[in-house]
């Protein structure tokens, strides 16, 4: 059982002294331009909002003694939770010695611990997962709760290990854009890694999140947000490992995770519609879909301490309306992730299919959600892989395979691949043909932008990616990519580059029209302000506003402090001022318009006078 959280973790209240810097938008550029001249620490490929800009310019926040050694490199993503950026620690010579993915999110009472509201539930869960020493879970280095001195709220900061190769969602989108399926060996390895995490989440020794006393019964960790974007690709495995050519798959983003068991009074109500809607299992969806199949026949089961005999009404008939959420919830999430990697089908399409399944179709398909899992890959994926994924997507939680059953199948397949790779290492020959074994794991294009080197596959039309969709894909891919990688070089680049240019032109025209409309509203003589600003009469020099240097505002014509220009005097009669005699009315109105103080918005009186003088001059 993991030890109690140390005091330094539970009580981390620090002043966020540099979190509210004046926010200017970080300079941006067109992703199609070369990136050789850019400063990687300040230039990005996305218009940063002030909060993200402030986040990148704030201190690292881990320790005042070492914060000066950490520097922001680039943002990795932004969502409703906050933002994520990669930071580098450099020595005195400027060499990178450590990398960290820093996640910043707003304080939320619903995501805080019950008796320690300044601590995040995700931080407490990640702290316990760290003690399980799993290679397939993103490691959390530290956690901080930072206090904003100007606002009443707080901000959480999570310091995770950096996964340099993105996530499965990004990898799937790239292969889909190239019209190619992922290699089966990598899919088996991915499925086995996720099953190992599911086993730890089911059988791990977790402490109650209030950290006051250990639970009296085992708990199951429910992730609640399993999807390809939350499964990351870390560094390669050990060089001696047969799988060193592939990145290590790591499950992360436990922000919505929670511990539960079959005696939890909040179960299953707290898991309903908790997570991304398209990836939710049927038992956690909206009521109209959740109640649709609860009356369907359900075989006896015994999962996570709860048996089918626990779900009976007063007459002894099966009643699964309040069935508890268990580890089968995670099995659905990992199975749906594998389904998306195999078929490249978007989760929304499959979710609509799940909601529309009827009882007759369910029984006709062998009591399953889909009749058969097939793709147009040539050669097709093995039956064992497709059948296992199909079993994980059963509408009935009790009919899904257990974590142990998944590990048994994936583990056997992993050993087969390792045996083949071991033959290459030993230089073994086939005992029948006496030919040297030349088997090797298929290549996976996952590093940086090496996807540009992969040939275009034959499934572009099947996936339905037109030029306009590719333009949006290229824009999304280049948003958070490192500038040194260069832009995405798709074989259809000339086609979608044209659409990309059109999208940018439409965006620029929309921005110009908004600015033009704003100027027209400002200069429109007929527009009347709801509340025109009141002018202050500054008769006495002492009443004049003070400048930033603490001195009273200087009189007209005199040199202001630290200024190299004189303030202009009002134009005299000889200079063609408002009271000049030899100027006609048109010149007079035009000159008055130029003499309006800069930065001050015209009120209704000014507009009316200007309109009358302009009409009179005509």
Q: What is the pLDDT of residues 298-350, one digit of tens each?
A: 555 555 555 555 555 555 555 555 678 889 999 999 999 999 999 999 889 99
What's the pLDDT score for residue 26?
32
CB count within 10 Å of CB 535 equals 8
Q: Write out the H or E segment, with its range, that includes residue 302.
A: strand 302-303
Measured between alpha carbons, how far apart are the two ends of the chain, in Å? 90
64-68, 221-225, 320-324, 528-532: range with highest mean pLDDT: 221-225
Identify the residue whose tokens are 């399953």.
Answer: 368
Residues 578-607 have a mean pLDDT of 51
158 contact partners, CB below 8 Å, separation of at least 6: 102, 103, 104, 105, 120, 122, 123, 126, 140, 143
DSSP-derived letter for residue 74 is: E
Determine what percent of the chain is predicted with pLDDT higher than 70: 61
Structural domains of the chain ordered from first start: 1-19+58-162 (3.30.200.20), 165-414 (1.10.510.10), 541-617 (no CATH)
Residues 115-133 have a mean pLDDT of 86
What's the pLDDT score for residue 17?
26
- Give 285's pLDDT tier (boundaries 50, 70, 90): confident
Distance CA(354)–CA(345), nearest Å, equals 13
Distance CA(111)–CA(258), nearest Å, equals 10
Is the confidence at residue 130, as pLDDT, over 80? yes
Predicted TM-score of the model (pTM):
0.70
- Crossing angle of helices 403-426 and 383-392, in 10° steps, is 150
- Give 221's pLDDT tier (boundaries 50, 70, 90): very high
Identify the residue whose tokens are 């309109």.
Answer: 611
Provide DSSP, 498-562.
HHHHHHHHHHHHHHHHHHHHHHHHHH-TT---SSPPPPPP--SGGGSPBPTTSSBPPPTTSBPTT
Tens-place pLDDT, residues 25-39: 333 333 333 333 233
Is the confidence at residue 107, as pLDDT, over 70? yes
What's the pLDDT score for residue 202?
92
What's the pLDDT score for residue 526?
55
Distance CA(17)–CA(565), nearest Å, equals 37
Residues 359-388 have a mean pLDDT of 90
Distance CA(216)–CA(207), nearest Å, equals 10
What's the pLDDT score for residue 609?
64
Tens-place pLDDT, residues 538-572: 444 444 444 444 444 444 444 444 444 444 444 44
What's the pLDDT score for residue 14?
30
Residues 184-197 have a mean pLDDT of 96
CB 255 within 8 A of CB 81: yes
Is the confidence at residue 126, as pLDDT, over 80? yes
Tens-place pLDDT, residues 423-433: 765 555 555 55
What's the pLDDT score for residue 487?
76
Q: How many CA atoms lie within 13 A of 485 on its CB side?
A: 23
Distance CA(567)–CA(544), nearest Å, equals 15
> Closest by alpha carbon to 340, among 445, 229, 228, 247?
228
Is the confidence at residue 389, as pLDDT, over 90? yes
- Give 468's pLDDT tier (boundaries 50, 70, 90): low
């Amino acid at each position: 059982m993991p030890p109690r959280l140390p005091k330094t973790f539970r009580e981390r209240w620090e002043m966020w002294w540099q979190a509210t810097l004046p926010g200017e938008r970080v300079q941006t550029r067109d992703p199609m331009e070369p990136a050789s001249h850019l400063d990687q620490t300040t230039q990005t490929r996305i218009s940063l909002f002030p909060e993200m800009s402030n986040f990148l310019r704030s201190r690292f926040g881990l320790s005042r003694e070492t914060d000066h050694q950490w520097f922001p490199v680039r943002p990795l993503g932004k969502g409703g939770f906050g933002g994520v950026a990669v930071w580098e620690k450099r020595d005195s010579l400027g060499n990178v010695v450590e990398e960290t993915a820093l996640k910043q999110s707003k304080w939320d009472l619903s995501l805080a611990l019950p008796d320690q509201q300044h601590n995040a539930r995700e931080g407490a869960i990640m702290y316990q997962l760290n003690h399980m020493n799993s290679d397939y879970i993103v490691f959390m280095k530290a956690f901080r709760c930072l206090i904003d001195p100007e606002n009443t709220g707080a901000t959480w900061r999570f310091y995770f290990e950096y996964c340099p190769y993105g996530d499965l969602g990004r990898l799937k989108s790239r292969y889909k854009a190239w019209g190619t399926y992922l290699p089966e060996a990598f899919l088996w390895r991915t499925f086995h890694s996720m099953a190992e995490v599911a086993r730890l989440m089911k059988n791990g020794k977790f402490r109650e999140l209030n950290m006051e006393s250990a639970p009296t019964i085992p708990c199951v960790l429910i992730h609640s947000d399993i999807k390809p974007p939350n499964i990351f690709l870390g560094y390669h495995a050990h060089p001696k490992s047969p799988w060193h050519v592939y990145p290590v798959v790591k499950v992360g983003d436990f922000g919505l995770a929670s511990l539960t068991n079959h005696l939890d009074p909040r179960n299953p109500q707290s898991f309903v519609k908790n997570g991304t809607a398209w990836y939710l299992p049927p038992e956690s969806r909206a009521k109209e879909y959740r109640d649709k199949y609860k009356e369907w026949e359900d075989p006896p089961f015994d999962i996570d301490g709860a048996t089918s005999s626990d779900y009976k009404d007063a007459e002894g008939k099966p009643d699964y309306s309040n069935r508890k959420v268990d580890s089968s919830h995670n099995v659905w999430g990992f199975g749906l992730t594998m389904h998306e990697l195999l078929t490249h089908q978007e989760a929304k399409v499959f979710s609509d299919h799940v909601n529309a399944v009827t009882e007759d179709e369910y029984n006709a398909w062998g009591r399953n959600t889909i009749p058969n899992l097939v793709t147009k890959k040539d050669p097709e994926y093995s039956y064992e892989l497709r059948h296992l994924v199909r079993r994980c997507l059963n509408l009935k939680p009790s009919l899904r395979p257990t974590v142990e059953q998944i590990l048994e199948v994936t583990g056997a397949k992993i050993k087969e691949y390792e045996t083949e790779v071991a033959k290459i290492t030993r230089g073994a020959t086939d005992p029948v043909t006496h030919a040297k074994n030349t088997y090797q794991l298929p290549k996976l294009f996952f590093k940086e932008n090496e996807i540009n080197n992969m040939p275009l596959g034959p499934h572009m039309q099947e996936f339905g990616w037109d030029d306009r969709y590719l333009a949006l894909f290229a824009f999304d891919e280049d948003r958070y990519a490192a500038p040194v990688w260069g832009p995405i070089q798709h074989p259809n680049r000339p086609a979608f580059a044209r659409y990309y240019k059109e999208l940018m032109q439409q965006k620029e025209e929309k921005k110009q029209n908004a600015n033009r409309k704003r100027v027209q509203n400002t200069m429109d003589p007929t527009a009347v302000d709801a509340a025109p600003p009141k002018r202050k009469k500054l008769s006495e020099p002492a009443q004049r506003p003070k400048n930033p240097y603490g001195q009273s505002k200087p009189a007209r014509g005199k040199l202001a402090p630290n200024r190299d220009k004189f303030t202009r005097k009002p134009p005299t009669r000889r200079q063609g001022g408002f009271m000049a005699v030899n100027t006609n009315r048109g010149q007079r109105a035009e000159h008055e318009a130029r003499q309006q103080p800069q930065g001050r918005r015209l009120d209704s009186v000014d507009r009316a006078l200007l309109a009358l003088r302009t009409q009179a001059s005509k």
